[in-house]
Amino acid sequence: MDQRRWEDLDVDCLLIVLGKVGMESLLLGVPFVCKSWYKASLDPSFWQCLILPDFHDGFMVARFSYFAKNQFWIATPFYRKFIRQYRMSKYRFSMTGFVKLVVSRSCGNATSLSLPECSNRLLRLVANTCPSLKALTLPRNFVLRESSIIMELTEKLKHLESLSLGNDIDITEILSQISLHCKNFRRLDVFRASLCKDKALSIVKFVPNIEYLSLRRAIIRRCDLITILQGCRELVFLDVSGTGFDEGDHEISMFASHISNFRCKGLMHDKICGVKN
């Protein structure tokens, strides 16, 4: 009996199969089976959700100091394998070039993007090549260096619904621009934010209809949290875990009674506060 070759697999069946594999397989496995599989792997529909793996091994960075961050030998296995598969010099690899490659395969149809590393240059690339983007996640250690990049992002990403920030720098300006250009915006995630009165008020002022808000491990005063609870009445999810508030705080629970999923683990608590209507 003749053995069927991989390249003889029906195209429709192949597309169904490839639609179930992740980005790692589409980059490091599928293209190297045969030419027809490589061609099929370029279908833009497979590149709409782009969750890029972390570049550095966190354990290795912690062990070998801050200065090791620029060394490729502590890169995660995904990127080391990528360089081997594509026969690339590790000294020529750049995250900007990698993001360009991945984003280009979406042909402008990417709707979700999570970046392991970032720069203002990379954000401009995203804004120019991903006009359909609905969800953007920035790394926790990223700090915006130019406020002008905010204007460029929000003006071009008009479909943006969700934003995860590495910090709360310029959050007031970011939200002011989002309110002008991103009419469907409904989710904000800021890790370890330092939310003063003005920043809490900016959330209420610029995105009062926000539905999902995560402020894990934020530094926030009780009065400012109450400001958000009173001003954002459309919230269905709020995570203030690690902020010092917990399920025993009756006043906070009362103001959060309209939120179906309210997470308020205190610094020393394990339980999740489920406040229901």
In this predicted model, what pLDDT tens digit does every residue of 139-178 receive, in sequence order?
Answer: 877 766 666 788 888 899 999 999 998 777 778 989 999 9
Rounded Cα distance, 25 and 155, in Å: 34
Rounded Cα distance, 106 and 130, in Å: 8
* Residues facing 164 on adjacent strands: 137, 189
User: pLDDT for 14-43, tens place per residue?
Assistant: 777 788 888 889 999 998 988 888 998 999
Sign of the Cα pseudo-torsion (247, 249, 255, 257, in order): positive
What H or E segment, with its residue span, contains residue 80?
A: helix 77-85
User: Does residue 212 register a pLDDT over 90?
Assistant: yes
In the chain, domain spans:
188-277
| Residue 38 token pair | 């490589």
Rounded Cα distance, 252 and 164, in Å: 25
- Of 243, 238, 236, which Cα lies nearest the Cα of 265? 243
Mean pLDDT of 105-115: 95
Q: Which of 92-96, 124-128, 167-171 has the highest mean pLDDT?
A: 124-128
Rounded Cα distance, 196 and 136, in Å: 24
- Residue 230: pLDDT band (50, 70, 90) is very high
Task: Return the higher-pLDDT residue of 47 and 5.
Answer: 47
**CB-side exposure of 134: number of CA atoms within 13 Å?**
7
Predicted local confidence at residue 2, as pLDDT:
53
% the chain with pLDDT above 90? 44
Count of CB atoms situated within 10 Å of the CB of 84: 11
User: pLDDT for 35-62, tens place per residue?
Assistant: 888 998 999 999 999 999 887 655 444 4
On whether the pTM is more than 0.75, the answer is yes
User: Does residue 74 register a pLDDT over 80?
Assistant: no
Rounded Cα distance, 57 and 74, in Å: 6
Least confident of 63-67, 203-207, 260-264: 63-67
Q: Determine whether 5 is exposed, middle or buried from the number of CB atoms within 10 Å of its CB (0-12, 13-18, 19+).
A: exposed
- Of 64, 123, 77, 57, which Cα lies nearest the Cα of 96? 123
Helix (H, G, I), strand (E, B) or coil at 114: strand
**CB-side exposure of 156: number of CA atoms within 13 Å?**
16
Mean pLDDT of 107-128: 90
User: Does residue 185 register a pLDDT over 60?
Assistant: yes
| Residue 77 token pair | 């296995």
Residues 6+ apart with CB under 8 A from 35: 7
